[in-house]
Amino acid sequence: MCRARRALGSLEDAVEGDEHPQRAKRTTGERFFGDDRSVRVMVTGGAGFIGSNIVRRLHELGHEPVVLDDISSGFRENLVPGVAFTEGDVQSRESVETAMEGCGVVLHLAARVGNARSIFDPQTDSAINVIGTLNVLETARTHGIDRVVFSSSAGIFGELKSLPIAEDHPQDPDSPYGTSKLAAEKMCLVDNKLYGKTTLEVYADVVAGHGEAKP
């Protein structure tokens, strides 16, 4: 198993159902999926490094992943053969609606990543990371989907005060990127409170493995 898959344990748990033979007890992910044996799952950013590994794993587990990606930082060669693909941006409500049709779970990984880049273009970061996340949450609600996984970032913590990062570490982002991810994370929490949606927020940092972009 590559380091990417090990590092993505939280996301992998979120796609393994109760019938998976290697699971002796119910994990967080199994409780998240309930008793569904096969689920149609929308994966935003599914052509990216992390997203494509998640899509591949979903496919292996017998689920039906659907990819939404604008190929701005992902790669077509990362797309898993036989998996439905919509080329589009999370900023487009129409694209999100199209990809989410018939899905029961959403894994939202699409984002504009990079602290330095966000300093020079904070508006684009906010448009993709905040408004894009809001589009995903609102569309999920209109489709009756109450299970969403949001991929956050260690960028929400800013300069780290301690390692390993504890859940109560101060959230003090020092870039527009970290700020946009924190805003999106808070949007997910508010969505939970207002509409009873079950949203898991996960963090994957310093990930390496299959499909990693070469310098």
Catalytic positions, written as ranges: 177
Cα-to-chain-centroid distance, residue 81? 20
SS3 82: coil
Nearest to 68 by CA among 87, 94, 48, 92: 87
Rounded to 10 degrees, what is the CA torsion of 1, 14, 84, 114?
A: -80
Sheet of 40-44: strand order equals 84-87, 64-69, 40-44, 105-108, 147-151, 198-202
Other CB atoms within a 10 A radius of the CB of residue 60 amount to 10
Half-sphere exposure in the Cβ direction for 46 (13 Å, CA): 27
